[in-house]
């Protein structure tokens, strides 16, 4: 009996059998400018010769799975013979879904997993619960942990105690990677080059050059300096998809501080955008989103919990999701928390080696758990009792 673990994110799907390693695959379809009629699914992205003006068709909107036609196509591709060659009749699936998912979406997912694909059994679970399982597995002496999951659509802060989530402490900030990329597109389009259609390219720029500032106002002043003194400035070479397949940052020694480059490459000159964009995770109010930043929301979440548990949560904060990979993210979060938390409580923030696949690894551990068979709903259970059996068994 094989177990397939699928962490079905809004940007990438992390998928793999519980005995094997994980693959990270774009969870969407693409259309390119050049071949308008052909739709590319998931990892067929690599086949597109010219990914400029790439058009994304996403199954998720605002963090919830709403476009089932696209999701089905992606899943057909993932489960099919090109990828994981799933034998549905003797495969169990662990699949993730967002917190407080809508009942209608849950029911559609039950139907698709059991009636269309006919998996032998399934477990629907929050990605954060898998992360918490992973954390408790690696630190068996701990009873509490706070999962900060900053992904594509939003950032969730969720306290777990003995692998149970404490619902009253869950906080959501509506700032995620998608918003950061869109904001960077707007800034660059306003300041130097129209890139509103270049989501793919600018997302790469964001991943390559953005970082979280430790001293925002100090970096702002450096960013305004002229020439060599400006240590924040970077020149980013944009891809032309013939000789330059992927954009990159010019090495500091090759940068020209005055005049134009003779080489004819297309250059983006980035200064304060590098840290002003990720700053939105800490101060969403900078761009008019009236919400708390991550450090405040963590304190707000922990303060809603019983007092004797609070110290344990501050010591066991674990970061997951792609946004936590910005350089300086962990240090800044720890520093800001330190200033908000009473001085007698220690604060510890853990950034795992691979925060994107952390919850997938948790699912892999869960699949080998002796109690796993009691957690799942089998196809026979579902056919006998319908949706209600899933509602009872899955704690979402």
Q: Which position has the token pair 């094997």?
A: 20
- Please state, as a whole number, how many other Cβ atoms lie within 10 Å of the Cβ of residue 365: 16
Q: What is the mean pLDDT of residues 258-279?
A: 86
- Which residue, of 246, 278, 310, is where some domain finishes? 278
pLDDT in tens, 193-209: 998 888 888 999 999 99
Residue 284 included in any domain: no
Q: Are residues 106 and 182 in the same domain?
A: no
Q: Are residues 115 and 16 in the same domain?
A: yes
**What CATH code is carried by the domain that includes residue 220?**
3.90.640.10
User: Are 289 and 175 a contacting pair, CB within 8 Å?
Assistant: yes
Q: What is the mean pLDDT of residues 159-181?
A: 92
Q: Which position has the token pair 């702002």?
A: 220
Q: What is the mean pLDDT of residues 275-304?
A: 93
Q: Are residues 168 and 199 in the same domain?
A: no
- Which residue, of 250, 278, 306, is where some domain finishes? 278
Give the pLDDT confidence score for residue 72 in this predicted structure. 92
Q: Are residues 207 and 79 in the same domain?
A: no
Q: Are residues 148 and 295 in the same domain?
A: yes
Q: Exposed, middle or buried, 94 (CB in 10 Å: 0-12/13-18/19+)?
A: buried
Domain count, the chain: 3
Compute the C-alpha angle 301/302/303, nearest 5°.
95
Which domain covers residue 308, as residue numbers? 139-175+289-350
- Which residue, of 350, 370, 385, is where some domain finishes? 350
CA distances for 180 relative to 184, 320, 334, 364, angstroms: 6, 17, 21, 30
d(CA 380, CA 151): 35
Identity of the highest mean pLDDT range in 35-49, 227-241, 280-294: 280-294
Q: What is the mean pLDDT of residues 158-164?
A: 90
Q: Which conformational region is residue 172 in: left (phi greater than 0), alpha (psi within -120 to 50 degrees), or beta?
A: beta
Give the pLDDT confidence score for residue 254 in this predicted structure. 84
Q: Are residues 295 and 328 in the same domain?
A: yes
pLDDT in tens, 48-101: 777 777 788 899 998 899 999 999 999 999 888 888 888 888 899 999 999 999
Q: Are residues 60 and 183 in the same domain?
A: no
Q: Are residues 13 and 82 in the same domain?
A: yes
Contacts 24+ apart (CB under 8 A), 236-245: 236/205, 236/208, 236/209, 236/267, 236/268, 236/269, 236/270, 237/265, 237/266, 237/267, 238/201, 238/265, 238/266, 238/267, 238/268, 239/52, 239/201, 240/265, 240/266, 241/49, 241/50, 241/51, 241/52
Q: Are residues 298 and 171 in the same domain?
A: yes
Q: Are residues 346 and 360 in the same domain?
A: no
Residue 335 has pLDDT above 90, yes or no: yes
**What CATH code is carried by the domain that includes residue 68?**
3.30.420.40
Residue 52 included in any domain: yes
Give the pLDDT confidence score for residue 239 in this predicted structure. 87
Rounded (to 5) percent helix, strand, coil in the chain: 40, 20, 40
Q: Are residues 62 and 115 in the same domain?
A: yes
* Residue 212, C-beta contacts closer than 8 angstroms, at least 6 positions apart: 275, 278, 279, 281, 282, 326, 327, 328, 329, 331, 332
Percentage with pLDDT > 70 across the chain = 99
CA distances for 108 relative to 12, 68, 86, 115, 142, angstroms: 20, 9, 20, 10, 37
Residue 283 included in any domain: no
d(CA 279, CA 377): 42
Q: Are residues 71 and 164 in the same domain?
A: no
User: Are 323 and 278 a contacting pair, CB within 8 Å?
Assistant: yes
């Amino acid at each position: 009996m094989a177990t397939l673990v699928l962490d079905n994110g809004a940007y990438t799907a992390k998928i793999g059998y519980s005995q094997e390693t994980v693959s990270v695959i774009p969870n969407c379809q693409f259309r390119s400018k050049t071949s308008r009629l052909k739709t590319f699914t998931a990892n067929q992205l690599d086949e597109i010769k010219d990914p400029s003006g790439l058009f994304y068709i996403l199954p998720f909107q605002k963090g919830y799975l709403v476009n089932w036609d696209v999701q089905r196509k992606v899943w057909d591709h993932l489960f099919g013979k090109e990828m994981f060659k799933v034998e549905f009749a003797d495969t169990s699936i662990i699949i993730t879904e967002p917190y407080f998912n809508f009942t209608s979406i849950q029911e559609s997912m039950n139907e698709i997993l059991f009636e269309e694909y006919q998996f032998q059994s399934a477990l629907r679970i929050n990605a954060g619960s898998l992360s918490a399982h992973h954390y408790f597995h690696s630190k068996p002496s701990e009873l509490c942990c706070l999962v900060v999951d900053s992904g594509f659509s939003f950032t969730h802060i969720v306290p777990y105690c003995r692998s149970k989530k404490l619902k009253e402490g869950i906080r959501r900030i509506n700032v995620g990677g998608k918003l950061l990329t869109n904001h960077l597109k707007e800034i660059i389009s306003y300041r130097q080059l129209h890139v509103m259609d270049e989501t793919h390219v600018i997302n790469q720029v964001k991943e390559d050059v953005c970082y979280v500032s430790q001293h925002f106002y100090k970096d702002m002043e450096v960013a305004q300096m002229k020439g060599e003194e400006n240590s924040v400035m970077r020149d980013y070479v944009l891809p032309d998809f013939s000789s330059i397949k992927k954009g990159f940052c010019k090495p500091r020694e090759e940068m020209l501080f005055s005049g134009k480059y003779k080489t004819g490459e297309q250059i983006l000159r980035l200064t304060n955008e590098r840290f002003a964009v990720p700053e939105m995770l800490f101060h969403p109010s900078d761009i008019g989103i009236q919400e708390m930043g991550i450090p405040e929301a963590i304190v707000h979440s922990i303060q809603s919990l019983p007092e004797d548990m609070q110290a344990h949560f501050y010591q066991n904060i674990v970061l997951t999701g792609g946004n936590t990979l910005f350089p300086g993210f962990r240090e800044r979060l720890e520093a800001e928390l330190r200033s908000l938390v009473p001085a007698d409580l220690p604060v510890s923030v853990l950034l795992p080696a691979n925060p994107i696949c952390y919850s997938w690894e948790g699912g892999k551990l869960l699949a080998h758990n002796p109690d796993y068979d009691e957690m799942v709903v089998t196809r026979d259970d579902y056919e006998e009792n319908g949706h209600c059996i899933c509602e009872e068994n899955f704690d979402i």
